[in-house]
Structure 1
C-alpha cells in the first residue's frame, strides 16, 4: 500500500480553550501559548473526541428525462462538540451562561471564541473560530455514583461575512531535506563539511546538520561524522543524511 505514514494522525492529547472576549488576540502560531484572555476548559473525554456535524439544505434541479443539472445549497451549519470532565468556572459558564455561584437561571448561550487543539508528540494542530461560536449543553447532564460527571458542549460555529469558519494553526510538517554541496571533491586525508537543511510545509527552513544521521556507502574511501567528511583513499563514495524519514545524498570523490 502506497502512502506516507508521517501524514497519518493519532492524536494522543487535546485541549479546548474558550475566550469570552470576542476581540481576544490569537496566538501567532501553533508554537505560541494562548494568552490571558483564553480559558482552559480542563480535562476532556478522549473517547468522545471532537465530533463534528454539518447540516445544509440542498435542492436538486432536474431537466426533462430526469437528468440532474443543478444543486442549490444554502443554510450551511457546522457544529463541533467536546465533552468536559471538570466542574470549573469556565465549564459552568458554558453549561449555565448568565448564572452565578449561588443562582442558576435559564441559559441563553453567549457568543464566545473557541479553540480546539490536538497534539501528538511535537505535532500540534489548532482550529480557532474565525468569527464566534454559541455553546450549549448537548444531551443530558447529571450525577450518579458510577460515572464521572460530564457535560457535552455543542459549539455552533458562525462564519465570517466571507464564509470562513476557522483559523487553522499547525506545527510545520517536514517536507524534505537537502545536503549541500551535492557533490564534493576532497584530497586523501582532508576533511570537508557538509550541511543538511530541512524544508517544512510552511516554506520555512532549518539547519539540521547536527540532528541528522550520516552514513557513507564506502568507508574505505570516505567517512562521515556529524556532516564532516574525511577522505580515506582515492575513489568515490556516496554520503547520505537522514532526518525524520527524509534523506538526501552527496557524491564524494577522493583524490590522491
Structure 2
C-alpha cells in the first residue's frame, strides 16, 4: 500500500480570530494574543470548519463530441464555522454596523440592518504538535445561519465567511510546521 500514515490530519482543536483588514499577523511561533488587533471569536462547534468552492465551468467539444477544453470563471471560496459564544466579537460579525452600550450593569444591543464589513481572519488548527494557521487577508461574513433560541438546543451562530482574492488572485495563506508538507 502506497502512502504514509503520518500524512493524514485530524484537527483536534481550533480557534478563529478576526481583525481589521491589513492587520499585522504575529510570527508563526507567537500566539495570536500577542497582537491586540486580533480578537478570538471564542468556542467553536466540535463539527469543525468546512471549506466550500464554487465556480462556473464551460466545456468545449470538437466535432464528434471529443472534449478539448474547459474554461473556469466566477471562482468563489468560503469557510463555514459555528461559534458557540454570544460575545462582542461574534455580535460584531453577525450584526456589522450595530452597537452595544452598557449603563448601570445593563447592556443594550442596538441591532441594525447589517452593513458590508470586510475583515481579516485566521483559522488556527492543531493536530498534536502540528499547527496550521490559515490567514485570510480579506473576507466577510456573508451569511449567518438560523439561530435557535430555546432550552433544548445550544444557541450557536453559524457563519459563512466569503474569501476575497487579492490582486494577484491569492485567496489565503496557510502556515504550518508539518514536516510532511515541507518543500524539498
Aligned equivalent of 1:139: 145
Counterpart of 1:39 in structure 2 is 39
Q: Give the structure 1 partner of residue 22 of structure 2.
A: 23
Aligned to 1:116: 123
CA distance in 1, matches of 2:85, 2:39: 13
> In the alignment, is the contact (CA less than 8 A) between 1:172 and 1:202 conserved in 2?
no
Cα displacement (A) at 1:202: 6.5
1:152 corresponding residue in structure 2: 158
Whether the aligned pair in 2 keeps the contact of 1:115 and 1:129 (CA below 8 Å) is: yes
Task: Report the TM-score when normalising by structure 1.
Answer: 0.64
The aligned counterpart of 1:12 is 12
SS for the counterpart of 1:60 is strand
The question of whether the paired residues in 2 share the 8 Å contact of 1:95 and 1:136 is answered with: no
Secondary structure of the structure 1 residue equivalent to 2:110: coil
Q: 1:56-107, CA deviations, whole angstroms, 9 ceiling, x for partnerless residues?
A: 0111111111111111111100011110000001000011110012311011
Greater per-residue strand proportion: 1
- Where 1:6 maps in the other structure, the secondary structure is coil
CA RMSD of aligned residues (A): 1.7
**Tell me, which stretches of 5 or more residues in structure 1 are unaligned?**
176-199, 204-256
**Structure of greater relative contact order (alpha carbons < 8 Å, 6+ residues apart):** 2
Q: Secondary structure in 1 aligned to 2:59?
A: strand
Could you state the TM-score of these two structures normalised by the residue count of structure 2? 0.88
SS in 1 for 2:6: helix
- C-alpha distance in 2, partners of 1:68/1:77? 25
Residue 136 of structure 1, CA deviation: 3.1
Larger radius of gyration: 1
The alpha carbon displacement at 1:171 in A equals: 1.5
Give 4+ residue runs of structure 1 displaced > 4 Å after superposition: none
